[in-house]
Amino acid sequence: MNLTTPRRYWLTGASSGLGAALAEELLKSGVHLAVSARTVAPLKALAHRYPGQVLVVPGDLTNSQTVREIGEQIQHDWGSLDTVILNAGTCEYVDAKQLDASIIEHVVRTNLLASSYCIEAALPLLRAGLAPHLVGIASSVTYLPLPRSEAYGASKAGLRYLFESLRIDLAPEGIEVSVVSPGFVDTPLTIGNDFPMPLKWPVDKAARHILEKLKQRPPEIAFPALFMATLWPLSKIPNRIKLAIGKRMVRSSPPIKDQP
């Protein structure tokens, strides 16, 4: 690869929300982009709008074999990657009075284990790339426990630790690692939230902010700056008010628990 070749990115969770906005901003900048998500139609629409720039590699990223096949497809078509942005994720809320471990399992599998599968597939491609950069989308809520966020917060805290450890271990190879910790962003995942979302950002603004900051490759991008100050009171409200905030929020039927 020479310096005139467009950078090659792999973006997960590219079909909607923050991922779709990131994809649009990246493609407008001229990069070549491999896009993954379960839903194929939006990925094909991107390929139609940006001919020659998009490599569609869809699939369920919680399936390790599927992720290996995606890595093999990128290897076959491109041979390397320069930047990987692991954005795919989900959020389900927990009712501690009726604790359902399958919800926690589902969220951890989607947010943390799937990311580890993607990292395994991506690292050989990044090692062959130019100025390689690995980026993970975590969350500012990992700084502070919030009601009903046991599954989501634990998965994103695990993701943060994974990336921060990788930053140390990959530094000798010249692979830089960044963690992005946004506050509330206006996406299809958050639109159904039944509680106040202070300082919520439009998704396009969030995408532009992230990509602008990533140019400097900081260890972490956390925004907005006042997010924690506004979030702290929410973590301290009395339990009776927490319960009044809204009903138990499970966006989809949790998977069947793993069998021993």
pLDDT at residue 243 greater than cutoff 60 = no
Q: Does residue 164 form part of some domain?
A: yes
pTM: 0.82
Q: Which of 50, 117, 152, 161 is catalytic?
A: 152
Exposure string of 150-179, with b = 16+ CB inside 10 Å and e = fewer, is: bbbbbbbbbbbebbeebbeebeeeebbbbb
Q: Does residue 70 form part of some domain?
A: yes
Long-range pairs for 154-159: beta carbons < 8 A, 24 or more residues apart: 154/104, 154/107, 154/108, 155/89, 155/107, 155/108, 155/110, 155/111, 155/112, 156/89, 156/111, 158/108, 158/111, 158/112, 159/111, 159/112, 159/115
Q: Please give the Cα distance from 152 to 133 (Å, whole number).
A: 25
pLDDT tens by residue, 32-47: 999 999 999 999 999 9
Q: Does residue 195 form part of some domain?
A: yes
Domain count, the chain: 1
Q: Does residue 170 form part of some domain?
A: yes
Q: Does residue 80 form part of some domain?
A: yes
CATH code for the domain in which residue 204 is found: 3.40.50.720
**152 a catalytic residue:** yes
pLDDT tens by residue, 126-176: 999 999 999 999 988 887 777 788 999 999 999 999 999 999 999 999 999
Cα 131 from chain centroid (whole Å): 21
Q: Does residue 97 form part of some domain?
A: yes
pLDDT tens by residue, 110-122: 999 999 999 999 9
Q: Residues 3, 136, 35, CA angle at the centre, nearest 5°?
A: 65
Please give the residue range of the domain that contains residue 182: 8-245
**What is the predicted pLDDT for the residue at 147?**
79
Q: Does residue 254 form part of some domain?
A: no
Per-state percent for the chain, helix, strand, coil, to nearest 5: 45, 15, 40
Q: Does residue 36 form part of some domain?
A: yes
